[in-house]
Amino acid sequence: MILITLLLLSIGLISLYFGAKLIIIGLEVLAHNFGISHILVGLTILAIGTSFPEIAVSVIGGLDKLTGIDPTIDGIIIGNKVGSFLVNITLIIGILASTAPVLVSKWELRRDIPMLFISASIFLLLSIDGYISQLDALLMIIIYIIYLWFIIWSERRIKNAKPEVRFSKKQELTEESFSIVETPLKKSSNKKALVFSISGILVLIISAELTLLNAHDLARELNIPENVIGIFIVGIGTSLPELMADLTALKRGSYGLAVGDILGSNVCDILFATGSGAIIIDFRVAPVILVFDLPVLFIAITVTSYFLWTEKKLKRWEGGFLIGFFIFYTIIKLLFFQKII
């Protein structure tokens, strides 16, 4: 029975990735048609697109709880959001840095690193009473929309002032970072893009339900708290789109795209993805998330931010350190902080 549950869960997680990929391909056509820069795609379209698995899990989870299909799905949902943030800021960015030095510009650090702290702080403050209410969810969504508007405004300002922008070698952005994003579909293939997007949405809905139901079953069969399953299995699984997209971006030399996706996805996961499900019905936040996982998240943000600020890039040894950080967190979590009574 456990093997069947694991198989179905794996199929659900893999399908989440392919569903998100289909939607991203469709959205990239729009980016191509409107001449959107690589960095802007990373911080908006790609960031939201690679967060579609987290959004789908949250929305379907909210509907499952509302309809009574799974009234105790909260642990997996909230664990998934905190887990995705932690995985992205440590494991994913560590893997990227271990593959190639990850460059980041000074202006991007000044704008987006504070937002990582702000978004995590907002989540902590709103959930400190043990719940993410519908009102909290609405506030999260509004804050994310304001952030998204600010990103678009600032990127347009940077692009218009491109001739005056000065970068040192350590924070250099290539011309490709500001060029129109390449797409596997032709500019005129809007109908095909629509088919890709609709198909992706349908795949996301089905795979999110498959993932949630089997994640719940796995937690019950193994007698493991749902927040643990949400953080490690669902959290890592729904972070696969970020890893695949960022490795592809680095391979193509689009450093701005990779960094933008990581920063944008984290903010989207913790604010918009959480809010999109909690606006349907309140989500309970397990005490262990507040006592252990969120403090670890702030430490992870601080460490990663320090590495980025020192030389405006992540070295390979720093990437290895972040991977080790996540492994150490995993060991401590599983041994001592699965739950707090």
Four-residue CA torsion sign, 185, 190, 192, 196: positive
Does a structural domain hold residue 90? yes
Question: Is the Cβ–Cβ distance between 97 and 316 less than 8 Å?
Answer: yes
pLDDT at 175: 38
| Per-chain mean pLDDT for the chain | 82
Beta bridge partner(s), residue 131:
284
Q: Percentage of the chain with pLDDT > 90?
A: 45
CA–CA separation, 248 vs 257, rounded Å? Answer: 10
Does a structural domain hold residue 69? yes
Does a structural domain hold residue 341? no
pLDDT at 78: 95
Give the mean pLDDT of 136-152. Answer: 91
pLDDT at 85: 93
Q: Report residue 132: phi and psi, to 5°.
A: -105, 105
H/E segment holding residue 11:
helix 2-34
- 191 pLDDT higher than 90: no
φ/ψ region of 2 (left if φ > 0, alpha if ψ in -120 to 50, else beta) reads alpha
More confident residue, 120 or 155: 120
- 235 pLDDT higher than 50: yes
CA distances from 12 to 70, 120, 225, 233, 337 (A): 17, 28, 20, 12, 27
pLDDT tens string 302-329: 999 898 888 777 888 999 999 999 999 9
The total number of structural domains in the chain stands at 1
Describe the crossing of helices 106-127 and 294-311 by its angle, rounded to 10 degrees.
Answer: 170
**Maximum C-alpha span of the chain:** 63
CA–CA separation, 294 vs 321, rounded Å? Answer: 20
pLDDT at 47: 62
- pLDDT category of residue 18 using cuts at 50, 70 and 90: confident
Transcribe 235-275 into DSSP letters: HHHTTHHHHHHHHHHHHTT-HHHHHHHHHHHHHIIIIIIHH
The CATH number covering residue 171 comes to 1.20.1420.30
Does a structural domain hold residue 295? yes
End-to-end CA distance of the chain: 29
Report the SS3 class of residue 294.
helix
Q: Name the burial class of residue 106, with classes exposed (0-12), middle (13-18) and buried (19+) by CB atoms within 10 angstroms of its CB.
A: middle
φ/ψ region of 179 (left if φ > 0, alpha if ψ in -120 to 50, else beta) reads beta
CA–CA separation, 90 vs 266, rounded Å? Answer: 11
- Domain with 12 in it: 2-336
- 127 pLDDT higher than 90: yes
Give the mean pLDDT of 173-194. Answer: 52
pLDDT tens string 74-96: 999 999 999 999 999 999 888 88
Give the mean pLDDT of 99-124. Answer: 83
pLDDT at 97: 84
pLDDT tens string 40-65: 665 566 667 778 889 999 999 999 99
pLDDT at 31: 66
pLDDT at 331: 96
More confident residue, 83 or 35: 83
Question: Is the Cβ–Cβ distance between 224 and 338 less than 8 Å?
Answer: yes
Beta bridge partner(s), residue 103:
313
pLDDT tens string 265-314: 888 889 999 999 999 999 999 999 999 999 999 999 999 989 888 877 78
Residue 191: which residues within 8 A CB-CB, separation 6 or more? Answer: none
More confident residue, 178 or 58: 58
- pLDDT category of residue 332 using cuts at 50, 70 and 90: very high
DSSP-derived secondary structure letter, 175: G
pLDDT at 284: 95
